[in-house]
Amino acid sequence: MDEAEPPDKPDARQRLKTWACAEALALGLTEPRIVAASGHGATLGAALTAFLDADRHGSMAWMAERAAERADPEVLWPDVRSILVVGLDYGPDEDALAATRQPGVGAISVYARGRDYHGILKGKLKQLAGRIGARGRELGLDVGVKVFVDTAPVMEKPLAAAAGLGWQGKHTNLVSRGHGSWLFLGEIFLDVELPADAAEIDHCGSCRACLSACPTGAFPAPYQLDARRCISYLTIEHPGPIPRDLRPLIGNRIYGCDDCLAVCPWNKFARMGAEAKLAARDDLRRPSLADLAALDDAGFRALFAASPVKRIGRDRFVRNVLVAIGNSGDVSHVPRLIDHLAEPSAIVRGTAVWALSRLVPPDDFARFAAVHLPAEEDADVRAEWAPANA
């Protein structure tokens, strides 16, 4: 202990930690834990560099742009000494994969069936951070805080594992013995040292359920993810046409994918989300592909006004819907696909071409190509018509 430091400071820090964790639970947060801010840069930096050097981040250039901050909390905020990591349960109230077995509907990831969690979780973290600052002053500690959710350059899963919330499973997501795979994560950076918790150990054993469940084979090895093959990346982060070889594997997943999470055996301990604002909307549990394909920009914005789906925009979303329609085998969608051949958006137009090629006989597809291909100027869309000339 520093000679200038009052002798009660260590006790004050323990009392603040105990109080903060209890307060987090009172706010509906889960498994609050403390991890020291130092000592992560080398390990996290090496893992991130290997991921980026292998181009497994795809088009997510933002991962490389702030790599130094992402890999080391002390680079992101030099004053940080401790990190309070918390979870927020969002376990589903039904079989998470039920919609994927119904080809006439769109399967939206569990986390996106209700309101956008970012604002809800950040609001709770801000409340908690403010109370920690006030309680710290009562204990004679001057506490500075910064609040982060997953939009910030923080490698939250390895930090959560180091704090003891769980471990990173073979699917690279956090797994908790008490809560399974359904946890949002958030962090409060603190400029005071609080007693750290022990890291969790890996409990995956020989299980390979998550690796086997991935529809697109996005795990080149256990504990490794190639985002370029991940359906969540392809339907949310990827801005261009989805690679042709992966489209049939996506099925009807139109925003995100829960397969690797849902099959984890540790979910037998998972809890249904208790935050009412995150409850699944009935109209997003199994939305009709036909209705979604008809959305214009205004309709899209109205339907997803408070949803995380809104951020990808109407064109990227309809692209996903048209992939699902192409995989549906349902020829009743053909008139809508014909309408989309005149879409202003090239990404929608091109995906409509592909979906049409899956639902109509080759001779009919060739006749559509003869009408639309001569006037088509977009190279990607022209490539989608190529089977008509094969």
The residues carrying an active-site annotation are: 150
Please tell me the distance from the alpha carbon of residue 158 to that of residue 199, in angstroms, as a whole number: 10
CA dihedral over 259, 262, 265, 266, signed as positive or negative: positive
Q: At 46, which helix (H) or strand (E)?
A: helix 41-53
Residue type, 301: R
Please tell me the distance from the alpha carbon of residue 353 to that of residue 355, in angstroms, as a whole number: 6
Please give the radius of gyration of the chain, using alpha carbons only, rounded to the nearest integer. Answer: 24
Please tell me the distance from the alpha carbon of residue 271 to that of residue 92, in angstroms, as a whole number: 8
Contact assessment for residue 336 and residue 348, using Cβ atoms and an 8 Å cutoff: no
Residue type, 242: I
Residue type, 336: R
Length reported for the chain = 390
Residue type, 68: A
**Structure token pair of residue 138:** 């009562």
Which ranges of the chain does DSSP label H, i.e. alpha helix?
A: 9-26, 41-53, 62-65, 67-71, 73-76, 117-138, 156-163, 209-213, 231-232, 247-250, 259-262, 289-293, 297-303, 313-326, 334-340, 346-359, 362-372, 379-384
